[in-house]
Amino acid sequence: MVATVTPLHRKSVPSLDPMIQLVAADMNQVNKVILARMQSDVPLIPELAGHLIAGGGKRMRPMLTLACARLLDYPGGRHHKLAAAVEFIHTATLLHDDVVDGSGLRRGRRTANIIWGNPASVLVGDFLFSRAFELMVEDGSLRVLKTLSHASAVIAEGEVNQLTAQRRIETSEERYLDIIGAKTAALFAAACRIAAIVAERDLAIEDALDSYGRNLGIAFQLVDDAIDYASDEATMGKDAGDDFRDGKVTLPVILAHARGSDAERRFWREAMEGHRTSDADLAHATGLLAQTDAIADTLDRARHYGQRAIDALAGVGSGPAKAALVEAVEFAVARAY
């Protein structure tokens, strides 16, 4: 007699694959819109935009729009254009972020600002941003326009807030949460909300999807900020310690600083102010983060927001779309392990 192994219903490692498969056909339509609408008579525009858009991103935000529309059994096709608009807004902010941070590497490839220069990145970002609004206007929903124009203003506000917090070790956890709520979570929330708008569901459903996206976005960014101290180019597609060297005061640093000895707090201050940038300094920082449980607790905070995201969907939809959206959260918070 042979022992039978009963496979677990859930894979032990959560994955984005169910969501990717759920929306694959829709995403083909979105990609067609993206490709068609990043064209221009000025050749540098599709060249530069294509570098980033074709550059291996997960299309997380448009995927959320599509998956939420599926959750609500939306039968139409309006969300393809709008998901493309969401991706254009995201791409525009990435182009501008890389200029702002002077980044050289994203998703394992050289950034557009390194290849084509800052001026081109700024202007092509502006173009994509305008194109996003043209796509929304073609769709014609003022509620979608309101949602995404507001999200865009909040994102820019969050980026400026982050800029003024940079190199300031005294940044509080509250301010950090404000920053990531604006720069990351606002677009996640809007990407989900617009699915409810096109599906013409009531405000409670809209708000539930907004909350799912917002909490997922916060969890996502918390994990990103933890990974930044663990990544190498292979796992993250950007250099480990970028935030450390840029003096970005993320939650791991806030916790390690708060919990540190006087000497450790001095180290963190000097590091954030740009006086501790060697590999040995980064290794020391990583050690302090481990000692103070700062990474573990950052990931714990991420799980908290992840759970809130999942709970926000209580009573909204069911079936494979629901399962995929839940597993996307589990994937987001499990990435760092």
Applying CB under 8 A, the residues found at the interface with a copy of itself are 40-45, 92-93, 96, 99-101, 118-120, 122-124, 126-127, 129-131, 133-134, 136-137, 140, 142, 145-146, 149-150, 152-153, 155-157, 159-161, 163-164
Q: Is the CB of 134 or the CB of 273 nearer to a copy of itself?
A: 134
Q: Is the CB of 114 or the CB of 156 nearer to a copy of itself?
A: 156
d(CA 152, CA 262): 40
d(CA 164, CA 216): 25
Q: Is the CB of 102 or the CB of 319 nearer to a copy of itself?
A: 102
- SS3 string, 75-135, reads CCCHHHHHHHHHHHHHHHHHHHHHHHHCCCEECCEECHHHHHCHHHHHHHHHHHHHHHHHH
d(CA 156, CA 288): 32
Q: Is the CB of 127 or the CB of 220 nearer to a copy of itself?
A: 127
Tell which residue, 147, 141, 102, has the closest CA to residue 121.
102
Q: Is the CB of 156 or the CB of 282 nearer to a copy of itself?
A: 156
Beta carbon of residue 40, minimum distance to a copy of itself (angstroms, whole number)? 6
Beta carbon of residue 137, minimum distance to a copy of itself (angstroms, whole number)? 5
Q: Is the CB of 73 or the CB of 134 nearer to a copy of itself?
A: 134
Beta carbon of residue 141, minimum distance to a copy of itself (angstroms, whole number)? 9
C-beta separation of 63 from 23 below 8 A: yes
For residue 67, what are the contacts with CB-CB under 8 A and spacing of at least 6?
19, 22, 23, 195, 321, 324, 325, 328
Q: Is the CB of 186 or the CB of 302 nearer to a copy of itself?
A: 186
C-beta separation of 228 from 263 below 8 A: no
Beta carbon of residue 6, minimum distance to a copy of itself (angstroms, whole number)? 52
Beta carbon of residue 123, minimum distance to a copy of itself (angstroms, whole number)? 5
Hunting for tokens 């950052």 — which residue is that? 298
Tell which residue, 199, 78, 84, has the closest CA to residue 132.
84
Q: Exposed, middle or buried: residue 102 (CB in 10 Å: 0-12, 13-18, 19+)?
A: exposed
Beta carbon of residue 262, minimum distance to a copy of itself (angstroms, whole number)? 31
Q: Is the CB of 175 or the CB of 308 nearer to a copy of itself?
A: 175
Beta carbon of residue 172, minimum distance to a copy of itself (angstroms, whole number)? 15
DSSP designation for 318: -
d(CA 336, CA 229): 10
C-beta separation of 182 from 158 below 8 A: yes
Beta carbon of residue 132, minimum distance to a copy of itself (angstroms, whole number)? 9
